[in-house]
Structure 1
Amino acid sequence: MTDWDRMYDCQGDTERVPRLLDQVEREDDAEAWCELRHRLVLEDDWVFPASFAALPRLVRLAGTRGRARELAGAIVRRAGCDHGCEDLLAGCAETISALDGLLDRYLRTRPSDYLPAFRALLGARGQYHWAAVLDDFADDFYPVDCPHCGGETTIAIGGYGRCSAVRDWDLGDVDRRELRPASPEELTGTGRWMYATASRDGEQVLAEGVAHLFGRAECPRCDSVFSIAEEYALANLPSSGDYPSV
């Protein structure tokens, strides 16, 4: 039984979220869902005790209510932020496992909102960093520091190109070097799973982007070669949580 007297939302309220959950369970009310999301995931960035308390009920609804699936996914995607609710998150292990299976089945249907669901599944699997930063590789840029000379290098993956370069305010990208994507056989861990899942579901742009992101780049300043994903993850890990290696 949830002790809602302890489960405050973004406004410090302990009563409104359970009432909204009752309302959306009775009817798929758009206004109630909108308020619920605002209270549980503030500015798409912060989660609260009420967020984790609401998760089991959201997951139970997620099989038939798209808004419930999306909101549950948004909560687990932000579960690595500095929320101070580690005990509540740990208590949601079975619920998150159920959400994991639901999201994986949903991705197999090749939905129009594939990327948000893919990122939610990354969150459900504890990959909070990639869940937060992964985009659609249409026009993505990842700034990293070369681990050898320390110089900032811009990694472009998308329509703009798939290259490393030195970004200059006046001159644009200087000395572009083509990225070296990882082959499917070279991928390991999270990168291997991301590539295999996107490929399974026919998301070739996403799969190819992952292969480049988990590949290697040449530093335009010192000509050394380094792992893009390793350097970017090390520089941009969320502030708390258990982060598996790339």
Structure 2
Amino acid sequence: MERFNAQVVNRTQMHDCYGDVDRVPALLERVEVEDDAETWEELGYRLILEHDLVFPASFAALSRLIRLASTSAPARGLAGAILRRAAGHHGCDDLLADCADEIAEFRKLLDRHLQSQPVDYLTVFRDSLAAMEEYHWSAVLGDFTDDFYHLACPNCAVEVTIAIGDHGRYSAIRDWNLGDVARRGLRPASSEELSGVGRWMYETAVRDGHEPLANGIAHLFGKAECPHCASVFNIADEYTSANRPILW
């Protein structure tokens, strides 16, 4: 409460998506007293606008949402949703930095929640990635049932489609009339070959018994062969290089 009130002294910086500076603090006061669905709904659309836009009030509210997250599913979800959008153009880096300690605790809370096997496991998994500042993977990671990743071959620059899902796990050249042609099977990374965020993602999914997710991650962080020039490259490295969000 103290941090939020200290921040709202500068009224020009603490506005929500409607330009209001008083409504979000009032709504936060209300949900602390009564966990009301309609109030949480209004908080959601005041703090996160369509097209994934966030506002100064979103980050001013983050510490308080995280404090509520241990006992409130809506608070946990809204805090995670704000963090997943933290790589965007919002001009609130100072407010985000002020929440560093709370975000570190939020990561621990999310990790415990993952181990409880929530029905929204993938969403919580992506929230955890955002709390680790892995915004790229938080934004693009799917459940590997019907996932496609498009990137340029680092050797010949031809556009390669990477498929990881129930339909197959391959690299190909996409022809809009013939479909995916010249398919080449992917080479998944072994657990020993994984490092960094890829290792964390794989080991967490394995720990929690999400084998399809773990298997998809192993393929995503593995290698593919370009169907055009036959060069072999790391899928995750090339896809990240082409699609990493711009940090403002």
1:83 is matched with: 90
The aligned counterpart of 2:16 is 9
The Cα shift of 1:76 comes to 1.0
Match of 2:121 in 1: 114
Q: CA deviation at 1:64?
A: 0.9
**Matched AA of 1:52:** F
SS at match of 1:140: strand
Unpaired segments of 5 or more residues in structure 1? Answer: 242-246
Aligned: 1:123 with 2:127: no
Contact 1:167–1:173 (8 Å) recurs in 2: yes
CA RMSD of the aligned region, Å? 1.0
Amino acid corresponding to residue 7 of structure 2 in structure 1:
D
Secondary structure in structure 1 of the residue aligned to 2:205: helix
Q: Per-residue CA shift, 1:72-117, capped at 9, x if unaligned?
A: 1111111111111111111110110111110001001111110000
| Other-structure match for 2:100 | 93
Q: Using the alignment, how far apart are the partners of 1:137 and 1:143 within structure 2? A: 15
- Displacement of 1:3: 2.7
Equivalences for 1:177-192 in 2 at 5 Å? 177-192=184-199
Q: Give the structure 2 partner of residue 174 of structure 1.
A: 181
Identity %: 62
- 2:78 aligned partner: 71
* CA apart distance, 1:9: 1.1
- Cα deviation 1:161-188 (Å, max 9, x = unaligned): 1000001110000011100000000001
CA contact (8 A) 1:44 1:74 kept: no
- Give me the whole-angstrom Cα distance separating, in 2, the residues matched to 1:141 and 1:68: 32
Distance 1:80 1:236, change over 3 A: same
| Match of residue 202, structure 2, among 191, 195, 208 | 195
Distance 1:88 1:9, change over 3 A: same
Larger displacement relative to structure 2 (2-11 or 16-25) = 2-11
- Report the alpha carbon displacement of residue 128 of structure 1 after superposing the two structures with TM: 0.5
Match of 1:228 in 2: 235
Change (3 A) 1:163 1:147: same
TM-score (normalised: structure 2): 0.95
- Residue in 1 that maps onto 2:211: 204
Q: Secondary structure at the match of 1:193?
A: helix
3-state secondary structure, aligned to 1:22 = helix
Following the alignment from structure 2 to structure 1, what is the Cα–Cα distance between the partners of residues 116 and 202?
17
Residues 84 and 71 of structure 1, relative CA distance in 2, 3 Å threshold: same
The TM-score normalised by the length of structure 1 is 0.96
Give me the whole-angstrom Cα distance separating, in 1, the residues matched to 2:216 and 2:53. Answer: 28
Aligned-partner Cα distance in 2 for 1:27–1:179: 51
State the Cα deviation string for residues 22-53 of structure 1 (Å, max 9, x = none): 11111111111111111112226121111111
Tell me, yes or no, if structure 1 residue 155 matches structure 2 residue 159: no
